[in-house]
A = this chain, B = another copy of it.
């Protein structure tokens, strides 16, 4: 029995040993059934070694480091957690090495790169790419999605999404609010509604106290879906009061609002309330774990990746770029969604 199972355990190669890569490594090694970490690559050799050591994985770095990782025995699958700008190239390398992969969002920064990845996967005829939109696994969003229908609030009419961060890790450039932060809302809105966007408008107003001259924060992104649903995204990179994600859907028969599932209310110093975290990891820790478990399970059983596909990753990138265009032009911009390749047809 033990022998049979060992064949079954998926060895993962991690590309990128920063915060997210380190968290994924710990999850795969210690909390996900049927997985182990086989190798870790980072441009910083020390960091690769620090992350790989405790989990008994091989550390790779340097020029040929990714090839070394892909060539390591027992690397059955790859997780890409490197900086956004190198995602596209690394995805192509992993595709060439014929390994299933989970690529952190965004799949690529430009429409062109994202589309070329889709085309490459379609050319191979088999879905092996999952994009790390982990909110699709979140107990909050999945509960919210269950509300959208006749047993809940009826057909959705309006969506309001609130996303506040406490700092911009990349410096506060408004364009990156779209591609790095609001991209989560762009994806989850499509997923919640099972619908595509037709246009986007970006409004901005009074800047917050730490917004650099010439940049805008908070911003308001308003999308309209093919079925006419208005999706409002309020994104505030430097909100100072804490990290918070909320989503409310007004429907034909009612309204559903998703909060943060806080367990403990504290009364102290003439205030009764809940803690608001500084970072997103606490809010979405369970989503990250469930995403990895779903990914590993699918690899073990040969099923298609259960999360966002390369197609979803491409559309998120494309819509983010249309939002940037709308921001620069100051007016509504149309979104043209090309026909979906049959490879990405939903499986019933």
Contact = CB atoms under 8 A, between A and B. Distances in A.
A4 B263 CA distance: 40
Contact of A273 (B30, B160, B274): B274
Contacts of A111: none
A56 interface: yes
A5 B9 CA distance: 9
A317 interface: no
Contacts of A207: 157, 228
Nearest to A271: B273
Interface residues of A, number: 91
Contacts of A271: 242, 271, 273-276
Contact of A267 (B160, B218, B230, B241): B241
A293 interface: yes
A240 interface: yes
Contact of A242 (B257, B259, B267): B267
Contacts of A265: 256-259, 273
A144 B253 contact: no
A-B pairs with lowest CB-CB distance, top 4: A273-B273, A6-B6, A254-B268, A206-B228
Interface of A: 1-7, 9, 11, 29-36, 38, 56-57, 73-74, 139-140, 143-144, 147, 152-158, 160, 164, 203-209, 218, 220, 222, 224-225, 227-230, 232, 234, 236, 239-242, 244, 250, 252-278, 286, 293, 297
